[in-house]
Amino acid sequence: MNNIQPSLEIDVAGIRMKNPVMTASGTFGYGSEYVDFIDLNKLGAVVVKGITSVPWAGNSMPRIFETPSGMLNAIGLQNVGVDGFIDKKLPYLRNFDVPVIVNICGEQVGEYLEVTEKLDAADGVAAIELNISCPNLHCGGMSFGVDPKLTDELVKGVRGKTTLPLLVKLSPNVTDITVIARAAEGAGADGLSVINTALGMAIDINTRRPQLANVTGGLSGPAIKPIALRMVWQVYNAVSIPIIGMGGIMNGEDAIEFCIAGAAAVAVGTANFINPRASLDVVEGITEYLERHGMRSIEKLVGSLEVP
């Protein structure tokens, strides 16, 4: 123990944050839903639900299912659309002194570009997170995030439309995540979000129907943490842009694991559903760890894994 007061402030991919803890897209709404529990100003960044060019209705029900230490979701990107977001959701977030990162999605490259242009012109967007990995969509039968060429094309396109920091969110459902990571880096991404949900499924044995109307869905929560950590470490060793680590982070200790594996920042997802204060608890947990280990900042921790 000693008296160094660690500073959690960091700059990740050009986004200046008070601490390295974000909320994961789709698990924190548009921020307003959590103000009874959290001072948004204390977060590193708020990442909002995936936005598309026009409002999407989403998938039919059931949409979620609990699995051992995890949950499956197939929401189908129900969202208000980029115009609705800018008109109805963004103004509220401008009341806070916290970077707002907008997660965007689409079925065609053109849709991504349209959303990007509108967000680039809007006031109060700190960065764009490109979701090329939503497991509940079928962009020509396969999502962008599993093909390095499609990734390159899409990221280059979006890069051309904005000067905002650009994060690219990678899918775990690939043979070699470093290939996609390098494609995104090469195409101009400023940072990588690792990982989105793993594709999974569950069945009701009495009705013999899938537990999700969409049949398959994205697995999140502690169950996928080992997979997420492995991928963060792989990507860390493959690229030189910063990584936002996520997948099953429930507390500060989980977050520290991601940092040691190579994450410059982390995002808290499913944990928000179980504990609405989870993201701030993670901030506090990280602070305590740094204090306990006499570290002034988190930077020395990033990628500090000692391999035997």
Partner 1 sequence: MLVPTKKFDLPTEVISNELVAENHYLLRCSCPEIAAGALPGQFIHVLIPQGSGLLLRRPFTIYTVEGDEITMLYQLIGEGTNVLSSLKRSDSIRVLGPLGNTFEISPAPDPAVIVGGGAGIASLMLLAAALRENGAHALGLVGSMNSARLLSVEDLEAIGIETYIATDDGSVGHHGFVTELLMEILETHEMKNPQIYACGPDGMLRVVTKIALDYRIPAQLAMENRMGCALGVCLGCVCKVRMPSGGFEYQRVCTEGPVFNAEDIIW
Mark residues 165-204: x for contact with ligand FMN by CB under 6 A, - for none: ----x--------------------------xx-------
DSSP secondary structure letter of residue 40: G
**E strands within the chain?**
10-12, 15-17, 21-23, 46-51, 64-67, 70-73, 100-104, 127-131, 166-170, 191-194, 198-201, 203-204, 209-210, 216-220, 243-245, 265-268
Does 221 help bind ligand FMN (rule: CB under 6 A)? yes
Does 188 help bind partner 1 (rule: CB under 8 A)? no
Does 78 help bind partner 1 (rule: CB under 8 A)? yes
Among 182, 230, 277, 293, binds partner 1 (CB under 8 A): 277
**E strands within 106-242?**
127-131, 166-170, 191-194, 198-201, 203-204, 209-210, 216-220
In this structure, what token pair is assigned to residue 42?
């204390």
Strands 198-201 and 203-204: unpaired
Does 243 help bind a copy of itself (rule: CB under 8 A)? no
Among 67, 162, 251, 297, binds a copy of itself (CB under 8 A): 67
CA end-to-end distance (rounded Å), the chain = 27
Instruction: Tell me if residue 139 is catalytic.
Output: no
Query: How many CB atoms lie under 10 A from the CB of residue 82?
Result: 24
Amino acid (1-letter code) at residue 55? P
CA distance 251 to 283: 9
Mark residues 11-50: x for contact with ligand FMN by CB under 6 A, - for none: -------------xxxx---------------------xx
Q: Of the two residues 12 and 278, which places its CB atom closer to partner 1 in the complex?
A: 278
Among 150, 220, 231, 286, binds ligand FMN (CB under 6 A): 220
In this structure, what token pair is assigned to residue 237?
């060793």
Contact criterion met (CB below 8 Å) for 250 and 279: no
Window 142 to 201, contacts with a copy of itself (CB under 8 A): 146, 173-176, 198-201
Applying CB under 6 A, the residues found at the interface with ligand FMN are: 24-27, 49-50, 73, 75, 77, 103, 131, 134, 169, 196-197, 220-221, 224, 246-249, 268-271
Applying CB under 8 A, the residues found at the interface with a copy of itself are: 60, 67-70, 72, 146, 173-176, 198-203, 205, 207-210, 213, 215-216, 219, 221-227, 229-230, 233, 248, 253, 256-257, 260-261, 289, 304-308
Applying CB under 8 A, the residues found at the interface with partner 1 are: 26-29, 33-34, 36-37, 49, 57-58, 60-66, 68-71, 73, 75, 78, 221-222, 270, 272-277
Q: Would you name the residues annotated as active-site residues?
A: 134
